[in-house]
Amino acid sequence: MNDEKWKKVSIQEQLRAFSIVKYNTKFGEKKNLTDCECFIIMTGMRAENYSANGNNTGWGTNNFLSAIEKTNKNVNVSVFLLDNDAPLEKQAELVARYINQLKKKTCCKKIHILGVSKCGTMTVALLKYLTELHLDKLNIMAYSAPYLGTVFASPVILYKKVDEVMGKARKKLVKKLIPDFKEIKPKTKREKNLESGLTDILKRKHRMVFSQSHMDYDISEVNGNGVPKQHRNRYDKKYLENMFEEKTLDMLRKVKFTNITTVCTDRTLKEVIVTRNLYGVMLYLSSKIIFDKEPSDGMVSLNSAKYIEKVCKENGINISTKTILDGHHDICSDVRIIEEIVQILEKEIGEK
């Protein structure tokens, strides 16, 4: 790792790199049986999104629980909470270690893993750390994973893009209102401040949800040019560059892996407005403004999310691919998308 802190990390620091919230409830008519299937959700949530006793299922996890309950299957649910500072590679290794222990248990008949966004890339990164024992138990799914990175983890590039877009939008609006308008004199300082006001708000909102740590910078666009120089020590360049090494490709041949993608459309906008999904509205606008004509879910381009399919095809590997129509990136805020993912999951869940 580039970060010296994680080159000689202690066991204590490793254990703090992620935590697990386990839900004791088993669903289904036979929920009192010892045998069950496990569903692990990784959505990049952090410990502070939960209450101390784990009762607050925040960030849409309760929507997952409700959707799974409708299937009437015997499933145990747990959620990984990620640490802000730990490199994604290190967290992937720790998750794999947990899975290796879980698949040894005879009462665990199947392990379903859903990784969303950055955690979708982790479902691939953890493959090389898995032991060969009981690989047939694994059913791995990745939703909207930025295998080639995302501009939203690249502030230098993103903010430049925002400035360009807002500048063009201002000129277009003025031209429409005043066709003969010409900027003769230079803008005053007050006018410049007014013009940059909206872009500053957008940047400030981004900084509020962006941790400026390994957890986010590691999925910066592959060349790393979007990471500010003062934060380069929080960026693992090799994480995405080495995503599909030989060991990983070999494991992709041996496990059940489903890549799930989606893109924002005009139907997405109608749906998120009707359901009053503010996150969905913002992601739709982002898909139109930031990604312009490139298909995206508002945060990850379709090209980046489908890159694993291209790699697997080139290497003669068969993986399952699914497309959710008219979706967006923030899966946890949309019940319909969650239910569609649970339907994909349900086909893999056996009757116990």
Q: List residues bridging with 92 in a β-sheet.
A: none
pLDDT score at 168: 66
Closest CA to 158 of 289, 283, 262: 289
Show Cβ contacts of residue 228 under 8 Å, excluding neighbours closer than 6 positions.
155, 156
Query: Where does residue 117 fall: left (phi above 0), alpha (psi -120 to 50 degrees), or beta otherwise?
Result: left
How far apart, in Å, are the Cα atoms of 29 and each of 22, 26, 145, 167?
20, 9, 34, 59
Q: What would you report as the CA-atom Rg of the chain, rounded to the nearest whole angstrom? A: 22
Show Cβ contacts of residue 140 under 8 Å, excluding neighbours closer than 6 positions.
113, 115, 123, 255, 256, 257, 258
pLDDT digits (tens, 9 = 90+) for 158-213: 888 888 877 665 555 444 444 554 554 455 555 555 455 667 777 777 777 787 88
Enter the DSSP assignment of 301: B
pLDDT score at 173: 47
Closest CA to 112 of 343, 350, 348: 348
Q: Which residues of the chain have pLDDT under 50?
A: 1-3, 32, 51-57, 173-178, 181, 184-185, 194, 351-352
CB neighbours of residue 203 within 10 Å: 17
pLDDT score at 76: 82
Give kind and range of the element (H or E) at residue 77.
strand 75-82
| Cα 84 from Cα 87, distance rounded (Å) | 9
| Cα 139 from Cα 154, distance rounded (Å) | 31
pLDDT score at 320: 94
| All domains of the chain in start order, with CATH | 4-149+236-263+300-346 (3.40.50.1820)
Give the tokens for residue 299. Answer: 């945060």
3-state secondary structure string across 144-182: CCCCCCEHHHCHHHHHHHHHHHHHHHHHHHHHHHCCCCC
